[in-house]
Every structure is written in C-alpha cells, then in structure tokens.
Structure 1
Amino acid sequence: MRSHLLNGTTTERYRRSVTEGIERVAARIAATERPFTGVTADDLAPALDRIDLDRPLHDTSAALDELEELYLRDAVYFHHPRYLAHLNCPVVIPAVVGEAVLSAVNSSLDTWDQSAGGTLIERRLIDWTAGRIGFGPAADGVFTSGGTQSNLQALLLAREEAKPAAPAGLRVFASEASHFSVRKSATLLGLGDDAVVSVPVDRDRRMHTVALARELERCAAEGLTPMAVVATAGTTDFGSIDPLPEIAELCDRYRTWMHVDAAYGCGLLVSRKNRDRIRGIERADSVTVDYHKSFFQPVSSSAVLVRDSATLRHATYHAEYLNPRRMVRERVPNQVDKSLQTTRRFDALKLWMTLRVMGADGVGGLFDEVCDLAHEGWRLLAADPRFDVVVEPQLSTLVFRCVPDSVTDPAEIDRANLYARKALFASGDAVVAGTKVDGRHYLKFTLLNPETTVDDITAVLDLIAGHAEQYLGASLDRAC
C-alpha cells in the first residue's frame, strides 16, 4: 500500500492518477447541458448502499468509473449558466490550479515550521485585502473556513473588547435581513439568542438607521451594553447593502464595535465601477470577506479582517508543543496565534494564483458583469406582468414571484411558486432558490455566473411561469 503514498518514488503514479481525474471532470463539464439531472435522494441512495467500503477496488480508473455513477453524473454544476440559486460561483482556472498544488503539498497554515512560504503568502493577501478595505497599517486578519466562522470570530473579539460588562447585559444589533450566523454566534459565545436585537429594514431591505439609533438608545437607557453592530454588505436574500457611513457614526457615538459582514459584497473591493457602494467599510472594526462567493474561488476561501491587529490577541492561545510564547519574542510568524482553527488548509494559494494570473481588475470585471446582469433581469421582471419583483438589486440578487392573473388567493400563489421551484429542480433545466418575504413564498435568482445571459433569464422565467400555470390548472381540475 506504500505505492499510494505521494513521495519522491511515486510521482509518476501521482501524475497519471491526477491527470485521469482531471480528464474525467473536464469531459463531464464539457458534456453538461443542464445544471442538474433531477435525480432524487431515493434514486441515488441504493447505488451508495451497495458499496462495500471494506472491499477496495485497488484501481484508480475503476474508482473513477464508480465515482461517475455516484457523483459526477448527478452533481449540481455551478458553472452552468442556468444555475441561479445560491451564493455559489463558477471558479476560475488559476484558483483550481492553486487547489491542486495546495492539496498535494498539504501545508498546514497553523505554524511557520509547517508552512514557511505559505504563511507569508497568506499574510501578504491579508495585507492586500485590508488595503482594499481602506484599513491602515495596524490592520491584520486570517483566512477562515467561511463567513460563518469569520462572523463568529469577529463577534468573539467584540465580546472580549466589551469586558468587563457582564455577558447577560451584552447586545448585538443586526438587521432583520442579516445572516443567521449572527444569532448562531451569539449562542456559541454564551450570549443567548435574545442578545441579538433585530433592527427593521427599509423598503430596499437595508438596515433602518433611525431604528438602529432608537435601539441603541434604549439599550443604553436600560443599562445594557451595545457590544456590536453587524452591518451587512450584501444580504443573502436581497444583496442589500446597509448604509455603512451612517452606521459607523452611530457606532462611534455609542463606542460600539462595528462589524461588516461583506461575505457577498466583498467583490466590490475589486470593482472599478461600483466600489462606492461599500463606502464606509473602512470605518469598521472587523470585516468578513468570502472570496469563494464573489472572487470566483473554490470553497473554501474566506477571511476575517480587523482594523487593529491587537484585538486578535483574544483568539491567541499558546501550547508548548506547537506555538510556545518564546516564539512571539523570536518573531516567528505563527498564524495559529490569530485563528480559531489549528490545522488549516493553505486556501490563500487559490486567491494568490488568481491575482497573479488575472489581476484584481480581472476579478472585479467579472463581478461587475453579474451586477449589470442583475439590473437587466430586474428590468425584465419589472416589465413582466406575470411577476412581482421585490427590490432593485444592489448586487446580483433578484427576489420575485410569479403572480398569475387568474389567481387572487395569496396562499394559492404561494403554492404555485413552491411547485414551480420544485418542478424546475426536478426537471434539471435550471436551479433557482426560494425564500420568504413578509410571510409569503418568493423565488430568488443569485446571479454569479458571467456566462449567464439575459436570454437565459428569460428562458428560466418562462419555465417558472409554465410550471406555475401547470400547477394551477391541475388544482382547478381537482376542485372540479
């Protein structure tokens, strides 16, 4: 079995095996005509159940043949222009090359003696991102597994900075359109779900700053401590961007930590057209960025940035077997000193390769394309009497629902939209997401593929309307 270990004596086997795997994936992507096959869990599960994991195939080609049946054939392909559902982007080739390199070398980014140059590459990218945000020379940060972990770490730092206030008296303010990880983080940090104050949004689904000011004042009047305000630059449902300058003013007034969840909107950091939409982000104390959303990177690639590097001390623990305190005095750069994770992949390499091949303008141009496409889609929806669209997009998300003119019952319209989404997914012709707005079921396009066209959007809207009408026709037949 040693012949399967990657080392100096097995490089030819490594080359052949990886090349065969790449060729299989490339062939599948080239042949993919729909984003999904429509397979169900009940359809696919029996093939998985038949696999005896204690009886290996002893052959890479045979294992890839099996994988074709179990995974590649029925995977949901984000690269397809009619995948319009969640915050999943197609990936750029330089990043995939980086993924192959980092997986083979397998550096762990916790300590210098496990990563060397990888540590410096990650630190350089953190400095670059902090500069794009507008932070000064005291800024720092670290790569994370995703936006949820980044938000958790930011709120951990905010909690520690708020001491000596009692945990029971700490409050976090976030808009009602913010990510669920804010409440999850509050629970994990021992604050409790009720520590998160939900702030109303305006008609554009942005945090209402008058309401925020009122809640902050009430918090202070009740003897509670406003621990943090979480502003969102790109909400998951609407792509809305909270008014960052106004929020920053309120945070300064109440001496409150300002965190900006820019997991989605971080693509604006490299936009040449729309950067001003996140004006004020430079005043944050911490920022979440997800390169695997709007920088076209493979999962996972995320980071949390802080304006003052000293605040990262709240995530620092020392162990004699890993990062003893003397290493700080010796100026050994151990990334574990500022991370919630210990063992950690060299995910920064994917972004490094992307920037070195494409440049920031190249990435920003792709993100600008999908934002422009969303505006074209919004104009289509606004002009189409079959649909109701919620807000004009600030990024690349469209929330809408089919409203057949033959139906006036909101509950029946809800059911028609739910059916249309499920039927579309089952067909495999397109994949769209769903959400609720004011208690009603809506559909959602999250446009992150520059290859998607207005014709694709038009075709998918026609499919949705057709499925909704099919449901309503069947419903009428049943009633008769």
Structure 2
Amino acid sequence: MRSHLLNDTTAESYRRSVTEGIERVAAKLATTTRPFTGVTVDALSPRIDEIDLDKPLLDTAAVLDELEDVYLRDAVYFHHPRYLAHLNCPVVIPAVLGEAILSAVNSSLDTWDQSAGGTLIERKLIDWTTARIGLGPVADGVFTSGGTQSNLQALLLAREEAKPARDGWEGPAAFTALRIFASEVSHFSVKKSAKLLGLSPDAVVSIPVDHDKRMQTVALARELERCRREGLVPMAVVATAGTTDFGSIDPLPEIAELCEQYGTWMHVDAAYGCGLLASVKYRDRIDGIERADSVTVDYHKSFFQPVSSSAVLVRDASTLRHATYHAEYLNPRRMVQERIPNQVDKSLQTTRRFDALKLWMTLRVMGADGVGQLFDEVCDLAAEGWKLLAADPRFDVVVAPSLSTLVFRYIPASVTDPAEIDRANLYARKALFASGDAVVAGTKVQGRHYLKFTLLNPETTVEDMSVVLDLIAGHAEQYLGESLDRAS
C-alpha cells in the first residue's frame, strides 16, 4: 500500500491518477446541461448505503466510475448559468490550479516550520486586503474557514476589548452586560457567536432596517443610548456589507460615527460585499469600511474562489493577542522574540490549509481588476434583473439590488389569499429544483414566502432569468390549478 503515498517514487502514478480525475470532471463540466438532475434523497441514499467501505476497489478507474454514480452525475453544479440559489460562485481556473497544488504539498499554515513560504504568501495577501480596505499601517488578519468563523473571531476580540470598560469585572459575570447591535437581516452567525462566546440570551440587539433593508442608524443611536443609560456595555456593532437575503449594505459612515461616539467596536461583515474591494465600477458602495475595527471577507463568495477561502482583518494587530496561546511543542513564546512568524498565534484554528494560495494564483494570473470586472458583471446583471421583475406584473420584487441579489414573489392574478400565494411560491421552488432545470433560493419577508436569485455567475444572462421566471410561474399556476380542482 506504500505505492499510494505521494512521494518521489510515486510522482508518475500521481500524475496519471490526477489527470484521469481531471479528465472526468472536465468531461462532466463540458456536457452538463442542467444545474441539477433532480435526484431525491430516497433515490440516492440506497446507492451510497450499499457501498462497503471495507472492500476497496483497488483501481482508480473503478473508483471514478463509482464516483460518477454516487456524486458527479447528481452534484449541484454552480458553474451552470441557471444555478441562481445561494452564495455559491463558479470558480476561476487559476484558483483550481492552486487548490491542486496546495492539496498535494499539504502545507499546514499554523507554524513557519510547517509552511515557510506559505506563511509569507498568506501574510502578503492579508496586507493586500487590509490595504484595499484602508485599515491603516498596523492592520493584520488571518485566513479562516469562512464567514461564520471570521465573525466569531471578530466578536471574540470585541468582547475582550470591551471587558475593561468596567473596572473590577472578571469572568463570566462580566459578560452579562455586554451587548451586540446588528440589523434584523444580519447573518445568523452573529447570534450564534454570541452564544458561543458565553453572552446572555438577549445580548444581540436587533436593529430595524429601512425600505432598502439597510440598518436604521436613528434606531441604532437610540439603542446605543438606552444601553448606556441602563448601565450596559455596547460591545460591538455589526454592520453588514452585503446581507445574505438582500445584498443590502448598511450605512457604514454613519455607523462608524456612532461607534466612535459610544466607544464601540465596529465590525463589518463583508463576506458577500468584499467583491467590491476589487470592483472597477462600484467600490464607493462600501465607503466607510475603512473605519472598521474588524472586517470579514469571503473570497469564496465574490472573488470566485473554491471553498474555503475567507479571512478576518483587524485595524489593530495587537487585538489578535486575544486569540493567542503558546504551546512548547508548537509555538513557544521565545519564537516571538526570535521574530519567527507563526500564524497560529492569531488564529482560532491550529492545523490549517494553505487556502491563501488559491487567491494568490488568481491575482497573479488575472489581477485584481480581472476579478473586479467579473463581480461588476453580476452586479450589472442584477440591475437588469430588477428591471425585468419590476416590469412583470406576475411578480413582486422587494428591493433594488446593491449587489447581485433579487428577492421576489409570484403574485397570481386570480388569487388574493396570502397563505395560498405562499404555498404556490413554495411549491414552485420545490418543483423547479425537482425538475433540475434551475435552482433558486427562498426566504421570508415580513412572514411571507419569497424566492431569491443570487447572481454570482457572469455567464448567466437576462434570457436565463426570463426563462426561469416563466418556469416559476408555470409551476405556481400548476399548483393553483390543482388546488382549485381539489377544492371543487
């Protein structure tokens, strides 16, 4: 079995195996005509259940044949222009090449003696990103597994920075008065992080949004003042630059002013909107982000990177000390004096993939403008989609896009019962997914069911959107017709 270890004696075997796998995937990409086959859990589960993992096939070609049956054939393909559902992007080829390299070399980015140049490449990309944001000369950060982890680490730092605000507070009791302020459409990871950080159940204060789904700063100011009046500690304000449901961007300059006034940590969750950092046309939509204390970016959302590729950035590198622990076998304190750059000193993770290489390869091949042009294209596409929906009497569209998301609802001419319209939209989404012709997402707006296009594929066209809207209308009308038949 040593013949399967990747080393100097198996380099040719490695080349053959990987080439065969790449050829299978390339053939699949070239011949995929729908984003999904429509396979059900009940249909796919038995095929996987019957595989005996204790009886290997011992042949790469046979394993790839099996993989075709249990995965490749029925995978959801984000590269297809009618995949319009979640924040999943098609990926660029230089990043996929980077993925292949980093997997084979298998560097671990926790310490210098496990990664060498990988450490410096990651640090260079952190510096590049903080410069794009404008966080200043002492900014820093680290790559993470995704936006949820980035938000958790940012709020950990905010918690530790907020505790000294009250003399004599120590331990869990100090956490009961801490408050986080986030809009009512902010990411669920804000509340999840508060729980993981040991804060009280009412620690997250939900701030209402305006018609454009942006945080109302008047309401934020009122809540911050109430917090101070009641002797509570405003630990952090989480501003969102690209909400998951609407792509809306909170008023960052106004929020920054309030954070400065109240001495509150400002975190910007730009997991989605970070693509604007490379934008050729729309960078000004996130003006004010440079005033943040911490920022979340997800390159695997809007820089067209494979999962995972994310980072948390901070204005003041010294705040990362709150995530630092020293172990003699790994990163002893003496290494700090010796100026040995160990990334584990600022990460919540220990063993960590060299995900930065994917972004490095992308920027070295395409350049930031190349990435930004792709993101601008999907923002432009969303603007065209907004016009399409606004002009179509069959649909109610919620808000004009700030990024590349459209939330809408099919409104039949003959039905006025909101609950029945909800059911028609839910049915249409499920039926569309089952058909495999397209994939769209869903959400709720003021308690009612809506559908969602998340446009992250520059290959998607207005015609694609138009066809999918017709399919949605057709499925909804089929449900309503059958419902009428049942009632009669």
Alignment TM-score, normalising by the size of structure 2:
0.98
**Which residue is 2:394 aligned to?**
386
**Which residue is 1:171 aligned to?**
179
Matched, 1:464 2:464: no
**Which residue is 1:145 aligned to?**
145
Is the 8 Å Cα contact of residues 386 and 400 (structure 2) preserved in structure 1? Answer: yes
Q: Per-residue displacement from partner, 1:237-274 (whole Å, max 9, x unpaired)?
A: 00000000000000000000000000000000000100
Q: Distance in 1 between matches of 2:386 and 2:477?
A: 22
Match for residue 237 of structure 1 among 245, 251, 257: 245
**Which residue is 1:81 aligned to?**
81
**Which residue is 1:407 aligned to?**
415
Q: Structure 1 residue 216: deviation in Å?
A: 0.2
**Which residue is 2:234 aligned to?**
226
Secondary structure in structure 1 of the residue aligned to 2:202:
helix
Q: Distance in 2 between matches of 1:50 and 1:316?
A: 46
RMSD: 0.4
Secondary structure in structure 2 of the residue aligned to 1:71:
helix
**Which residue is 2:378 aligned to?**
370
Is the 8 Å Cα contact of residues 175 and 200 (structure 2) preserved in structure 1? Answer: no
Q: Per-residue displacement from partner, 1:69-127 (whole Å, max 9, x unpaired)?
A: 00000000000000000000000000000000000000000000000000000000000
Q: Structure 1 residue 192: deviation in Å?
A: 3.0
Q: Distance in 2 between matches of 1:366 and 1:315?
A: 35
Match for residue 350 of structure 1 among 335, 358, 379: 358
Q: Distance in 2 between matches of 1:425 and 1:136?
A: 46
Q: Which letter maps to 1:333?
A: P
Q: Which letter maps to 2:53?
A: L
Matched, 1:396 2:404: yes
Secondary structure in structure 2 of the residue aligned to 1:292:
helix
Q: Per-residue displacement from partner, 1:420-467 (whole Å, max 9, x unpaired)?
A: 000000000000000000000000000000000000000000000000
Is the 8 Å Cα contact of residues 378 and 392 (structure 1) preserved in structure 2? Answer: yes
Matched, 1:47 2:47: yes
Q: Which letter maps to 1:71?
A: Y
1:101-180 aligned at under 5 Å gives the runs: 101-164=101-164, 165=166, 166-180=174-188
Q: Structure 1 residue 194: deviation in Å?
A: 1.2
Match for residue 215 of structure 2 among 196, 207, 221: 207
**Which residue is 2:11 aligned to?**
11
**Which residue is 2:268 aligned to?**
260
* Deviation beyond 2 Å, 4+ runs, structure 1: none
Is the 8 Å Cα contact of residues 387 and 401 (structure 1) preserved in structure 2? Answer: yes
Matched, 1:422 2:461: no
Is the 8 Å Cα contact of residues 184 and 193 (structure 1) preserved in structure 2? Answer: no
Alignment TM-score, normalising by the size of structure 1:
1.00
Matched, 1:293 2:301: yes
**Which residue is 2:197 aligned to?**
189
Is the 8 Å Cα contact of residues 85 and 446 (structure 1) preserved in structure 2? Answer: yes
Q: Distance in 2 between matches of 1:400 and 1:455?
A: 17
Match for residue 347 of structure 2 among 317, 339, 343: 339
Q: Structure 1 residue 128: deviation in Å?
A: 0.1
Secondary structure in structure 2 of the residue aligned to 1:109:
coil
Q: Which letter maps to 2:136?
A: G
Q: Distance in 1 between matches of 2:200 and 2:401?
A: 33
Unpaired runs of 5+ residues, structure 1, are none
Q: Distance in 2 between matches of 1:268 and 1:185?
A: 26
Q: Per-residue displacement from partner, 1:154-178 (whole Å, max 9, x unpaired)?
A: 0000000011341000000000000
Secondary structure in structure 1 of the residue aligned to 2:416:
coil
Q: Structure 1 residue 30: deviation in Å?
A: 0.5
Q: Structure 1 residue 193: deviation in Å?
A: 3.2
Is the 8 Å Cα contact of residues 442 and 450 (structure 2) preserved in structure 1? Answer: yes
Q: Which letter maps to 1:132?
A: R
**Which residue is 2:277 aligned to?**
269
Secondary structure in structure 1 of the residue aligned to 2:34:
coil
Q: Distance in 1 between matches of 2:72 and 2:48?
A: 13
Secondary structure in structure 2 of the residue aligned to 1:162:
helix
Q: Per-residue displacement from partner, 1:402-427 (whole Å, max 9, x unpaired)?
A: 00010000000000000000000000
Q: Percent identity?
A: 86
Aligned residue pair count: 480
Unpaired runs of 5+ residues, structure 2, are 167-173
Is the 8 Å Cα contact of residues 84 and 438 (structure 2) preserved in structure 1? Answer: yes
Secondary structure in structure 1 of the residue aligned to 2:39:
coil
Q: Structure 1 residue 137: deviation in Å?
A: 1.0
Q: Distance in 2 between matches of 1:228 and 1:160?
A: 11
Q: Distance in 1 between matches of 2:458 and 2:90?
A: 9
Q: Distance in 2 between matches of 1:18 and 1:449?
A: 27
Q: Distance in 1 between matches of 2:4 and 2:201?
A: 48
Q: Distance in 1 between matches of 2:231 and 2:293?
A: 23
Q: Structure 1 residue 357: deviation in Å?
A: 0.1
Q: Per-residue displacement from partner, 1:305-339 (whole Å, max 9, x unpaired)?
A: 00000000000000000000000000000000000
Q: Which letter maps to 1:302?
A: S
Q: Distance in 2 between matches of 1:171 and 1:94?
A: 42
Q: Per-residue displacement from partner, 1:286-312 (whole Å, max 9, x unpaired)?
A: 000000000000000000000000000
Q: Distance in 2 between matches of 1:86 and 1:401?
A: 17
Q: Structure 1 residue 200: deviation in Å?
A: 0.2
Q: Distance in 2 between matches of 1:162 and 1:209?
A: 21
**Which residue is 2:64 aligned to?**
64
